Structure 1
Amino acid sequence: MDAIFKALNDPARRALLDSLRRKDGQSLTELEEQLDMSRFGVMKHLKVLEDAHLVISRKQGRFKYHYLNALPLQEMLDRWVAPFLRPQAQMMSDLKAKLERETSMGKPDFMMQTFIRCSQDALWDALTKADQMAAYHFMCNDVRGDAKPDNVTEFILPDGNPMLRQVTTELDPKSRIAMTFEPLFMGPNAPASHMVYVIEPQGETCKLTIEHYDMAPGQEGFAEGWARLAASLKSYLETGTALKMAS
Protein backbone atom coordinates (compact mmCIF):
# COMPACT_ATOMS: atom_id res chain seq x y z
CA MET A 1 0.00 0.00 0.00
CA ASP A 2 2.86 2.40 0.78
CA ALA A 3 4.16 2.00 -2.78
CA ILE A 4 0.72 2.88 -4.19
CA PHE A 5 0.42 6.04 -2.09
CA LYS A 6 3.95 7.05 -3.03
CA ALA A 7 3.22 6.48 -6.71
CA LEU A 8 0.05 8.58 -6.60
CA ASN A 9 1.71 11.41 -4.67
CA ASP A 10 3.08 13.11 -7.78
CA PRO A 11 1.17 15.01 -10.50
CA ALA A 12 3.42 13.70 -13.28
CA ARG A 13 2.74 10.08 -12.33
CA ARG A 14 -0.99 10.79 -12.07
CA ALA A 15 -0.79 12.35 -15.54
CA LEU A 16 0.83 9.16 -16.87
CA LEU A 17 -1.95 7.04 -15.37
CA ASP A 18 -4.58 9.36 -16.89
CA SER A 19 -2.90 9.06 -20.26
CA LEU A 20 -2.89 5.25 -20.08
CA ARG A 21 -6.52 5.30 -19.00
CA ARG A 22 -7.37 7.21 -22.18
CA LYS A 23 -5.16 5.04 -24.41
CA ASP A 24 -3.65 1.81 -23.13
CA GLY A 25 -0.46 0.24 -24.48
CA GLN A 26 1.59 3.40 -25.14
CA SER A 27 5.32 3.42 -25.79
CA LEU A 28 7.83 5.51 -23.83
CA THR A 29 8.08 7.94 -26.75
CA GLU A 30 4.31 8.47 -26.81
CA LEU A 31 4.20 9.14 -23.08
CA GLU A 32 7.25 11.40 -23.19
CA GLU A 33 5.56 13.66 -25.74
CA GLN A 34 2.82 14.45 -23.23
CA LEU A 35 5.05 15.58 -20.34
CA ASP A 36 7.36 18.55 -20.10
CA MET A 37 10.36 16.58 -18.88
CA SER A 38 13.27 14.52 -20.14
CA ARG A 39 13.00 10.94 -21.36
CA PHE A 40 14.99 9.85 -18.30
CA GLY A 41 12.52 11.63 -16.03
CA VAL A 42 9.56 9.85 -17.61
CA MET A 43 11.38 6.52 -17.23
CA LYS A 44 11.93 7.19 -13.51
CA HIS A 45 8.24 7.94 -12.99
CA LEU A 46 7.22 4.81 -14.90
CA LYS A 47 9.57 2.76 -12.73
CA VAL A 48 7.80 4.03 -9.58
CA LEU A 49 4.42 3.15 -11.11
CA GLU A 50 5.64 -0.32 -12.08
CA ASP A 51 7.03 -0.89 -8.58
CA ALA A 52 3.55 -0.06 -7.26
CA HIS A 53 2.04 -2.46 -9.85
CA LEU A 54 -0.13 0.34 -11.24
CA VAL A 55 1.53 -0.03 -14.64
CA ILE A 56 2.53 -3.22 -16.44
CA SER A 57 5.04 -3.10 -19.28
CA ARG A 58 5.62 -5.42 -22.18
CA LYS A 59 8.57 -5.47 -24.60
CA GLN A 60 7.71 -6.14 -28.23
CA GLY A 61 10.64 -5.93 -30.63
CA ARG A 62 12.56 -2.71 -30.02
CA PHE A 63 9.70 -1.05 -28.19
CA LYS A 64 8.31 -1.30 -24.68
CA TYR A 65 4.59 -0.71 -24.18
CA HIS A 66 2.87 0.31 -20.97
CA TYR A 67 -0.57 -0.67 -19.64
CA LEU A 68 -2.66 0.67 -16.81
CA ASN A 69 -3.27 -1.96 -14.10
CA ALA A 70 -6.03 -0.43 -11.97
CA LEU A 71 -6.75 -3.57 -9.96
CA PRO A 72 -4.43 -2.69 -7.02
CA LEU A 73 -6.53 0.46 -6.59
CA GLN A 74 -9.61 -1.76 -6.43
CA GLU A 75 -7.89 -3.80 -3.73
CA MET A 76 -7.28 -0.59 -1.78
CA LEU A 77 -10.95 0.39 -2.11
CA ASP A 78 -12.03 -3.08 -1.04
CA ARG A 79 -9.88 -2.78 2.07
CA TRP A 80 -11.11 0.59 3.33
CA VAL A 81 -14.25 1.56 1.45
CA ALA A 82 -16.09 -1.64 0.55
CA PRO A 83 -16.77 -2.76 4.16
CA PHE A 84 -18.91 0.36 4.56
CA LEU A 85 -20.36 0.91 1.09
CA ARG A 86 -20.22 -2.37 -0.86
CA PRO A 87 -20.37 -5.48 1.36
CA GLN A 88 -20.27 -7.73 -1.71
CA ALA A 89 -17.44 -5.93 -3.47
CA GLN A 90 -15.04 -7.67 -5.79
CA MET A 91 -12.78 -10.20 -4.14
CA MET A 92 -9.80 -9.65 -6.37
CA SER A 93 -6.56 -8.98 -4.48
CA ASP A 94 -2.80 -9.46 -4.50
CA LEU A 95 -2.60 -8.34 -8.10
CA LYS A 96 0.87 -7.97 -9.51
CA ALA A 97 2.45 -7.00 -12.78
CA LYS A 98 5.10 -7.44 -15.42
CA LEU A 99 4.48 -9.74 -18.33
CA GLU A 100 7.60 -11.65 -19.28
CA ARG A 101 6.53 -13.76 -22.21
CA GLU A 102 6.17 -12.48 -25.77
CA THR A 103 3.75 -13.97 -28.25
CA SER A 104 3.71 -14.00 -32.02
CA MET A 105 0.44 -12.04 -32.05
CA GLY A 106 2.09 -8.63 -31.68
CA LYS A 107 1.17 -5.95 -29.17
CA PRO A 108 -1.88 -6.73 -27.00
CA ASP A 109 -4.65 -4.15 -26.73
CA PHE A 110 -5.49 -5.15 -23.16
CA MET A 111 -3.72 -6.98 -20.32
CA MET A 112 -4.74 -8.04 -16.82
CA GLN A 113 -2.92 -10.05 -14.16
CA THR A 114 -3.97 -11.68 -10.91
CA PHE A 115 -2.60 -14.17 -8.39
CA ILE A 116 -4.80 -17.11 -7.40
CA ARG A 117 -4.05 -19.40 -4.47
CA CYS A 118 -4.43 -22.75 -6.19
CA SER A 119 -2.42 -25.46 -7.91
CA GLN A 120 -1.39 -25.24 -11.55
CA ASP A 121 -3.55 -28.29 -12.30
CA ALA A 122 -6.62 -26.70 -10.70
CA LEU A 123 -6.24 -23.47 -12.65
CA TRP A 124 -5.63 -25.36 -15.90
CA ASP A 125 -8.78 -27.45 -15.41
CA ALA A 126 -10.83 -24.34 -14.63
CA LEU A 127 -9.71 -22.69 -17.87
CA THR A 128 -10.14 -25.72 -20.12
CA LYS A 129 -13.08 -27.81 -18.86
CA ALA A 130 -16.54 -26.68 -19.95
CA ASP A 131 -18.31 -27.70 -16.73
CA GLN A 132 -15.92 -25.63 -14.62
CA MET A 133 -16.13 -22.62 -16.95
CA ALA A 134 -19.90 -22.76 -16.52
CA ALA A 135 -19.52 -22.94 -12.74
CA TYR A 136 -17.64 -19.63 -12.42
CA HIS A 137 -18.61 -17.61 -15.52
CA PHE A 138 -20.28 -14.45 -14.23
CA MET A 139 -23.23 -14.59 -16.69
CA CYS A 140 -23.43 -18.03 -18.32
CA ASN A 141 -24.55 -21.21 -16.56
CA ASP A 142 -23.96 -23.42 -19.59
CA VAL A 143 -20.69 -23.83 -21.50
CA ARG A 144 -20.39 -26.32 -24.33
CA GLY A 145 -17.05 -27.70 -25.49
CA ASP A 146 -13.76 -28.07 -23.63
CA ALA A 147 -10.79 -25.91 -24.63
CA LYS A 148 -8.90 -28.29 -26.91
CA PRO A 149 -6.98 -27.60 -30.14
CA ASP A 150 -9.39 -26.54 -32.91
CA ASN A 151 -12.38 -27.20 -30.63
CA VAL A 152 -15.32 -24.79 -30.39
CA THR A 153 -16.36 -23.54 -26.94
CA GLU A 154 -19.72 -21.75 -26.62
CA PHE A 155 -20.95 -19.77 -23.61
CA ILE A 156 -24.76 -19.89 -23.31
CA LEU A 157 -26.86 -17.29 -21.45
CA PRO A 158 -29.68 -18.38 -19.11
CA ASP A 159 -32.24 -17.53 -21.82
CA GLY A 160 -30.58 -20.06 -24.14
CA ASN A 161 -28.91 -17.55 -26.45
CA PRO A 162 -25.17 -17.85 -27.12
CA MET A 163 -23.08 -15.06 -25.59
CA LEU A 164 -19.59 -15.95 -26.79
CA ARG A 165 -17.91 -18.43 -29.12
CA GLN A 166 -14.23 -19.34 -28.89
CA VAL A 167 -11.99 -21.66 -30.90
CA THR A 168 -8.77 -22.89 -29.28
CA THR A 169 -5.90 -22.10 -31.68
CA GLU A 170 -2.87 -22.92 -29.51
CA LEU A 171 -2.46 -24.93 -26.32
CA ASP A 172 0.70 -25.47 -24.30
CA PRO A 173 -0.31 -27.87 -21.52
CA LYS A 174 -0.74 -26.16 -18.15
CA SER A 175 0.96 -22.94 -19.26
CA ARG A 176 -0.74 -21.19 -22.22
CA ILE A 177 -4.06 -21.13 -24.07
CA ALA A 178 -4.74 -19.03 -27.18
CA MET A 179 -8.31 -18.70 -28.46
CA THR A 180 -10.44 -16.67 -30.81
CA PHE A 181 -12.98 -14.34 -29.19
CA GLU A 182 -16.30 -13.97 -31.03
CA PRO A 183 -18.63 -11.63 -29.05
CA LEU A 184 -22.04 -12.92 -30.16
CA PHE A 185 -23.72 -10.64 -27.61
CA MET A 186 -22.76 -7.70 -29.86
CA GLY A 187 -24.56 -9.17 -32.87
CA PRO A 188 -23.72 -11.68 -35.61
CA ASN A 189 -21.44 -9.26 -37.46
CA ALA A 190 -19.35 -8.14 -34.48
CA PRO A 191 -15.60 -8.34 -35.26
CA ALA A 192 -13.79 -11.32 -33.78
CA SER A 193 -10.53 -10.89 -31.86
CA HIS A 194 -8.02 -13.08 -30.03
CA MET A 195 -7.14 -13.74 -26.40
CA VAL A 196 -4.47 -15.62 -24.46
CA TYR A 197 -4.25 -17.06 -20.96
CA VAL A 198 -0.73 -17.44 -19.53
CA ILE A 199 -0.28 -19.50 -16.34
CA GLU A 200 2.87 -19.20 -14.20
CA PRO A 201 3.05 -21.24 -10.96
CA GLN A 202 4.69 -19.35 -8.09
CA GLY A 203 4.83 -21.39 -4.90
CA GLU A 204 1.37 -21.81 -3.42
CA THR A 205 -0.16 -19.48 -5.99
CA CYS A 206 -0.45 -19.19 -9.76
CA LYS A 207 -0.06 -15.94 -11.68
CA LEU A 208 -2.67 -15.67 -14.42
CA THR A 209 -2.15 -13.15 -17.21
CA ILE A 210 -5.00 -12.34 -19.60
CA GLU A 211 -4.10 -10.75 -22.95
CA HIS A 212 -6.59 -9.51 -25.54
CA TYR A 213 -5.53 -8.74 -29.13
CA ASP A 214 -7.12 -7.11 -32.18
CA MET A 215 -9.94 -5.41 -30.30
CA ALA A 216 -12.11 -3.31 -32.60
CA PRO A 217 -13.16 0.28 -31.77
CA GLY A 218 -16.06 0.22 -29.35
CA GLN A 219 -14.91 -2.97 -27.65
CA GLU A 220 -13.06 -1.25 -24.80
CA GLY A 221 -15.86 -2.38 -22.49
CA PHE A 222 -14.48 -5.91 -22.67
CA ALA A 223 -12.14 -4.84 -19.84
CA GLU A 224 -15.02 -4.88 -17.34
CA GLY A 225 -16.01 -8.34 -18.46
CA TRP A 226 -12.47 -9.62 -17.96
CA ALA A 227 -12.40 -8.09 -14.46
CA ARG A 228 -15.65 -9.84 -13.56
CA LEU A 229 -14.44 -13.15 -14.98
CA ALA A 230 -11.08 -12.97 -13.19
CA ALA A 231 -12.72 -12.07 -9.88
CA SER A 232 -15.22 -14.94 -10.16
CA LEU A 233 -12.51 -17.42 -11.19
CA LYS A 234 -10.34 -16.39 -8.25
CA SER A 235 -13.22 -16.73 -5.80
CA TYR A 236 -14.27 -20.08 -7.30
CA LEU A 237 -10.81 -21.61 -6.96
CA GLU A 238 -10.01 -20.13 -3.53
CA THR A 239 -13.38 -20.47 -1.78
CA GLY A 240 -15.50 -22.77 -3.94
CA THR A 241 -18.02 -19.99 -4.57
CA ALA A 242 -18.21 -18.08 -7.84
CA LEU A 243 -19.28 -14.41 -8.16
CA LYS A 244 -22.31 -14.63 -10.42
CA MET A 245 -24.22 -11.56 -11.60
CA ALA A 246 -27.75 -11.22 -10.29
CA SER A 247 -30.29 -12.35 -12.87
Structure 2
Amino acid sequence: MTLEANAVDSVFKALADPTRRLLLDRLREHNGQTLRELCEHLDMARQSATQHLDVLRRADLVIVVRRGRERLHYLNPAPIHDIEERWISGFDKPRLRTLNAIRNQAEEIAVTATSIPTYVYATYIRASAEQVWQALTDADLTAKYWNHANVSDWQPGSTWEHRRVDGSGAVDVVGKVIESEPPTRLVITFEDTPDAAREPSVVTFLIEAHQEIVRLTVTHENLPNREMLGGISHGWPAVLANLKSLMETGEVLPQAPWDMSKVDA
Protein backbone atom coordinates (compact mmCIF):
# COMPACT_ATOMS: atom_id res chain seq x y z
CA MET A 1 0.00 0.00 0.00
CA THR A 2 1.37 3.44 -0.94
CA LEU A 3 1.95 6.30 1.47
CA GLU A 4 -0.85 8.23 -0.25
CA ALA A 5 -3.28 5.33 0.25
CA ASN A 6 -2.28 5.06 3.92
CA ALA A 7 -2.90 8.77 4.37
CA VAL A 8 -6.35 8.55 2.78
CA ASP A 9 -7.23 5.52 4.92
CA SER A 10 -6.23 7.37 8.10
CA VAL A 11 -8.47 10.30 7.18
CA PHE A 12 -11.49 8.07 6.49
CA LYS A 13 -10.84 6.18 9.73
CA ALA A 14 -10.67 9.43 11.69
CA LEU A 15 -13.89 10.72 10.13
CA ALA A 16 -15.77 7.47 10.81
CA ASP A 17 -16.19 8.21 14.51
CA PRO A 18 -19.02 10.61 15.51
CA THR A 19 -17.06 12.03 18.45
CA ARG A 20 -14.15 12.94 16.19
CA ARG A 21 -16.55 14.53 13.71
CA LEU A 22 -18.02 16.52 16.61
CA LEU A 23 -14.55 17.73 17.57
CA LEU A 24 -13.93 18.85 13.99
CA ASP A 25 -17.28 20.65 13.96
CA ARG A 26 -16.32 22.45 17.17
CA LEU A 27 -13.07 23.59 15.57
CA ARG A 28 -14.87 24.61 12.39
CA GLU A 29 -17.16 26.83 14.49
CA HIS A 30 -14.34 28.18 16.66
CA ASN A 31 -10.82 27.39 15.54
CA GLY A 32 -7.84 27.46 17.88
CA GLN A 33 -9.25 25.90 21.07
CA THR A 34 -7.41 24.43 24.03
CA LEU A 35 -8.09 20.88 25.19
CA ARG A 36 -10.07 22.25 28.13
CA GLU A 37 -12.30 24.30 25.83
CA LEU A 38 -12.91 21.33 23.54
CA CYS A 39 -13.82 19.08 26.48
CA GLU A 40 -16.25 21.52 28.10
CA HIS A 41 -19.35 20.14 26.35
CA LEU A 42 -18.22 16.56 25.76
CA ASP A 43 -19.68 13.77 27.88
CA MET A 44 -16.38 11.95 28.27
CA ALA A 45 -13.19 11.96 30.25
CA ARG A 46 -10.36 14.29 29.26
CA GLN A 47 -8.13 11.29 28.53
CA SER A 48 -10.68 9.87 26.06
CA ALA A 49 -10.94 13.21 24.27
CA THR A 50 -7.14 13.34 24.06
CA GLN A 51 -7.11 9.92 22.39
CA HIS A 52 -9.63 11.09 19.78
CA LEU A 53 -7.56 14.22 19.13
CA ASP A 54 -4.45 12.06 18.69
CA VAL A 55 -6.24 10.12 15.92
CA LEU A 56 -7.20 13.41 14.24
CA ARG A 57 -3.62 14.66 14.55
CA ARG A 58 -2.19 11.49 12.99
CA ALA A 59 -4.58 12.00 10.07
CA ASP A 60 -3.41 15.66 9.85
CA LEU A 61 -6.99 16.84 10.31
CA VAL A 62 -5.96 18.73 13.44
CA ILE A 63 -2.79 20.75 14.01
CA VAL A 64 -1.55 21.80 17.45
CA VAL A 65 0.08 25.22 17.70
CA ARG A 66 1.81 26.32 20.91
CA ARG A 67 1.04 29.79 22.29
CA GLY A 68 3.12 30.19 25.42
CA ARG A 69 1.97 27.50 27.82
CA GLU A 70 -1.19 26.79 25.85
CA ARG A 71 -1.63 24.20 23.11
CA LEU A 72 -4.22 25.42 20.61
CA HIS A 73 -5.96 22.98 18.26
CA TYR A 74 -6.71 24.05 14.69
CA LEU A 75 -8.65 22.37 11.92
CA ASN A 76 -6.38 21.56 8.95
CA PRO A 77 -8.40 21.57 5.70
CA ALA A 78 -5.69 19.99 3.54
CA PRO A 79 -6.66 16.27 3.89
CA ILE A 80 -10.37 16.99 3.39
CA HIS A 81 -9.53 19.14 0.36
CA ASP A 82 -7.48 16.27 -1.09
CA ILE A 83 -10.38 13.83 -0.62
CA GLU A 84 -12.77 16.29 -2.23
CA GLU A 85 -10.51 16.62 -5.26
CA ARG A 86 -9.87 12.88 -5.60
CA TRP A 87 -13.18 11.26 -4.60
CA ILE A 88 -15.98 13.82 -4.85
CA SER A 89 -15.28 16.36 -7.58
CA GLY A 90 -15.47 13.80 -10.38
CA PHE A 91 -18.98 12.61 -9.57
CA ASP A 92 -21.30 15.60 -9.82
CA LYS A 93 -19.35 18.72 -9.00
CA PRO A 94 -21.63 21.35 -10.64
CA ARG A 95 -24.69 20.16 -8.70
CA LEU A 96 -22.74 19.78 -5.45
CA ARG A 97 -21.27 23.25 -5.91
CA THR A 98 -24.76 24.73 -6.31
CA LEU A 99 -26.09 22.94 -3.24
CA ASN A 100 -23.09 24.06 -1.25
CA ALA A 101 -23.63 27.69 -2.29
CA ILE A 102 -27.28 27.51 -1.18
CA ARG A 103 -26.27 25.99 2.15
CA ASN A 104 -23.57 28.61 2.75
CA GLN A 105 -26.00 31.43 2.00
CA ALA A 106 -28.54 29.98 4.42
CA GLU A 107 -25.90 29.67 7.13
CA GLU A 108 -24.79 33.27 6.62
CA ILE A 109 -28.38 34.49 6.99
CA ALA A 110 -28.95 32.37 10.10
CA VAL A 111 -25.79 33.53 11.90
CA THR A 112 -26.06 37.13 13.02
CA ALA A 113 -22.64 37.52 14.59
CA THR A 114 -19.65 35.24 14.15
CA SER A 115 -15.95 35.69 14.79
CA ILE A 116 -13.44 35.35 11.97
CA PRO A 117 -11.40 32.19 12.61
CA THR A 118 -7.67 31.86 12.29
CA TYR A 119 -6.64 29.99 9.12
CA VAL A 120 -4.14 27.13 9.45
CA TYR A 121 -2.74 24.98 6.64
CA ALA A 122 -0.01 22.34 6.75
CA THR A 123 1.83 20.53 3.99
CA TYR A 124 4.69 18.04 3.90
CA ILE A 125 7.64 18.64 1.58
CA ARG A 126 10.57 16.41 0.65
CA ALA A 127 13.30 18.94 1.40
CA SER A 128 15.46 20.22 4.22
CA ALA A 129 14.40 23.00 6.58
CA GLU A 130 17.10 25.22 5.10
CA GLN A 131 15.78 24.68 1.57
CA VAL A 132 12.22 25.54 2.57
CA TRP A 133 13.42 28.63 4.46
CA GLN A 134 15.26 29.77 1.35
CA ALA A 135 12.16 29.15 -0.77
CA LEU A 136 10.14 31.41 1.53
CA THR A 137 12.66 34.25 1.70
CA ASP A 138 14.54 34.27 -1.61
CA ALA A 139 12.99 36.79 -4.01
CA ASP A 140 13.95 34.82 -7.13
CA LEU A 141 12.43 31.59 -5.79
CA THR A 142 9.18 33.19 -4.62
CA ALA A 143 8.88 34.75 -8.08
CA LYS A 144 8.89 31.24 -9.58
CA TYR A 145 6.12 29.65 -7.51
CA TRP A 146 4.12 32.73 -6.44
CA ASN A 147 4.38 35.07 -9.44
CA HIS A 148 5.52 37.66 -6.90
CA ALA A 149 8.96 38.38 -5.48
CA ASN A 150 9.01 38.61 -1.69
CA VAL A 151 11.66 41.25 -1.05
CA SER A 152 13.26 41.93 2.34
CA ASP A 153 16.41 41.33 4.36
CA TRP A 154 14.14 39.31 6.70
CA GLN A 155 15.50 40.84 9.88
CA PRO A 156 13.10 41.58 12.77
CA GLY A 157 11.68 45.07 12.34
CA SER A 158 12.43 45.22 8.59
CA THR A 159 9.76 45.76 5.98
CA TRP A 160 8.91 43.27 3.21
CA GLU A 161 7.14 43.68 -0.13
CA HIS A 162 5.17 41.29 -2.33
CA ARG A 163 6.15 42.61 -5.79
CA ARG A 164 4.64 41.56 -9.11
CA VAL A 165 7.02 40.04 -11.66
CA ASP A 166 5.06 41.17 -14.73
CA GLY A 167 7.40 44.12 -15.28
CA SER A 168 5.11 46.65 -13.59
CA GLY A 169 6.95 46.55 -10.27
CA ALA A 170 3.60 46.95 -8.50
CA VAL A 171 3.45 45.91 -4.84
CA ASP A 172 0.31 44.02 -3.81
CA VAL A 173 1.15 43.23 -0.18
CA VAL A 174 3.44 44.90 2.34
CA GLY A 175 4.31 44.19 5.94
CA LYS A 176 6.94 43.99 8.63
CA VAL A 177 9.05 41.13 9.92
CA ILE A 178 8.05 40.38 13.51
CA GLU A 179 10.16 37.27 14.16
CA SER A 180 12.88 35.64 12.08
CA GLU A 181 14.49 32.42 13.33
CA PRO A 182 16.06 30.64 10.36
CA PRO A 183 15.41 27.96 9.35
CA THR A 184 12.39 27.18 11.56
CA ARG A 185 10.13 30.18 12.16
CA LEU A 186 9.15 33.37 10.34
CA VAL A 187 6.40 35.76 11.48
CA ILE A 188 5.30 38.71 9.33
CA THR A 189 2.45 41.19 9.13
CA PHE A 190 0.39 40.97 5.94
CA GLU A 191 -1.30 44.12 4.59
CA ASP A 192 -3.07 43.79 1.25
CA THR A 193 -4.85 47.13 1.81
CA PRO A 194 -2.25 49.19 3.72
CA ASP A 195 -4.43 52.32 3.78
CA ALA A 196 -7.27 50.55 5.60
CA ALA A 197 -7.94 51.69 9.16
CA ARG A 198 -7.41 48.28 10.77
CA GLU A 199 -4.67 46.19 12.27
CA PRO A 200 -2.78 44.05 9.74
CA SER A 201 -3.19 40.31 9.70
CA VAL A 202 -0.26 38.16 10.80
CA VAL A 203 1.26 35.14 9.02
CA THR A 204 3.46 32.59 10.77
CA PHE A 205 5.54 30.04 8.86
CA LEU A 206 6.62 27.11 11.03
CA ILE A 207 9.17 24.69 9.51
CA GLU A 208 9.59 21.37 11.33
CA ALA A 209 12.17 18.91 10.00
CA HIS A 210 11.82 15.13 10.26
CA GLN A 211 14.54 13.07 8.57
CA GLU A 212 14.18 13.79 4.82
CA ILE A 213 10.97 15.83 4.98
CA VAL A 214 9.61 18.94 6.64
CA ARG A 215 6.17 19.95 7.75
CA LEU A 216 5.43 23.53 6.76
CA THR A 217 2.56 25.02 8.75
CA VAL A 218 1.14 28.40 7.74
CA THR A 219 -1.00 30.21 10.30
CA HIS A 220 -2.86 33.36 9.20
CA GLU A 221 -4.34 35.33 12.11
CA ASN A 222 -6.19 38.57 12.80
CA LEU A 223 -8.26 38.33 9.63
CA PRO A 224 -10.55 41.36 9.20
CA ASN A 225 -13.52 39.63 7.55
CA ARG A 226 -14.83 36.47 5.90
CA GLU A 227 -14.06 37.84 2.44
CA MET A 228 -10.34 37.74 3.22
CA LEU A 229 -10.74 34.33 4.85
CA GLY A 230 -12.31 33.04 1.64
CA GLY A 231 -9.51 34.50 -0.46
CA ILE A 232 -6.65 33.04 1.54
CA SER A 233 -8.48 29.70 1.85
CA HIS A 234 -8.01 29.37 -1.93
CA GLY A 235 -4.70 31.20 -2.09
CA TRP A 236 -2.54 29.47 0.51
CA PRO A 237 -3.19 25.87 -0.67
CA ALA A 238 -2.42 26.92 -4.25
CA VAL A 239 0.80 28.76 -3.38
CA LEU A 240 2.05 25.95 -1.13
CA ALA A 241 1.25 23.31 -3.75
CA ASN A 242 3.39 25.24 -6.22
CA LEU A 243 6.18 25.58 -3.65
CA LYS A 244 6.04 21.85 -2.89
CA SER A 245 6.23 21.00 -6.60
CA LEU A 246 9.25 23.29 -7.07
CA MET A 247 11.05 21.81 -4.06
CA GLU A 248 10.42 18.19 -5.03
CA THR A 249 10.64 18.26 -8.84
CA GLY A 250 12.56 21.43 -9.66
CA GLU A 251 9.54 22.78 -11.54
CA VAL A 252 6.33 24.53 -10.58
CA LEU A 253 2.96 23.06 -11.56
CA PRO A 254 2.18 23.28 -15.32
CA GLN A 255 -0.71 25.67 -14.68
CA ALA A 256 -1.07 28.31 -11.98
CA PRO A 257 -3.08 26.48 -9.27
CA TRP A 258 -4.75 29.67 -7.98
CA ASP A 259 -6.49 30.01 -11.36
CA MET A 260 -8.58 26.90 -10.60
CA SER A 261 -10.77 28.81 -8.13
CA LYS A 262 -11.62 31.23 -10.94
CA VAL A 263 -12.54 28.36 -13.28
CA ASP A 264 -14.73 26.66 -10.68
CA ALA A 265 -16.46 29.85 -9.64
TM-score normalised by L of structure 2: 0.70
What's 1:225 paired with? 235
Displacement of 1:50 in angstroms is 1.9
What's 2:191 paired with? 182
Pick from 211, 223, 241 the counterpart of residue 215 of structure 1. 223
For 2:162 and 2:67, the matched residues in 1 are separated by 32
Displacement of 1:169 in angstroms is 3.0
Secondary structure at the aligned position of 2:53 is classed as helix
Displacement of 1:234 in angstroms is 1.0
Displacement of 1:128 in angstroms is 0.8
Structure 1 unaligned runs (5+)?
87-107
Equivalent residues of 1:118, 1:206 under 8 A apart: yes
What's 1:234 paired with? 244
For 1:59 and 1:127, the matched residues in 2 are separated by 22
Higher helix share: 2
Equivalent residues of 2:173, 2:191 under 8 A apart: yes
- For residues 147-186 of structure 1, the aligned pairs below 5 Å read 147-149=153-155, 150-157=157-164, 161-184=170-193
Structure 1 position 58 matched with structure 2 position 78: no
Task: Count how many residue pairs are aligned between Structure 1 and Structure 2.
Answer: 222
What's 2:25 paired with? 18
What's 1:95 paired with? none
Equivalent residues of 2:118, 2:222 under 8 A apart: yes
> What RMSD, in angstroms, separates the aligned Cα atoms of the two structures?
3.0
Percent of residue pairs identical:
36
Structure 1 position 70 matched with structure 2 position 81: no
- For residues 92-131 of structure 1, the aligned pairs below 5 Å read 109-131=118-140
Displacement of 1:170 in angstroms is 2.6
What's 1:191 paired with? 199
1:13–1:119 distance in 2 versus 1, CA, 3 Å: closer
For 2:69 and 2:151, the matched residues in 1 are separated by 39
Displacement of 1:17 in angstroms is 0.8
For 1:147 and 1:81, the matched residues in 2 are separated by 43
Displacement of 1:153 in angstroms is 2.5
Equivalent residues of 1:144, 1:155 under 8 A apart: yes
What's 1:201 paired with? 209
Structure 2 unaligned runs (5+)?
1-7, 94-116
Displacement of 1:160 in angstroms is 6.1
For 1:223 and 1:116, the matched residues in 2 are separated by 20
For 1:179 and 1:55, the matched residues in 2 are separated by 23
Pick from 149, 165, 174 the counterpart of residue 143 of structure 1. 149
What's 2:34 paired with? 27
1:136–1:60 distance in 2 versus 1, CA, 3 Å: same
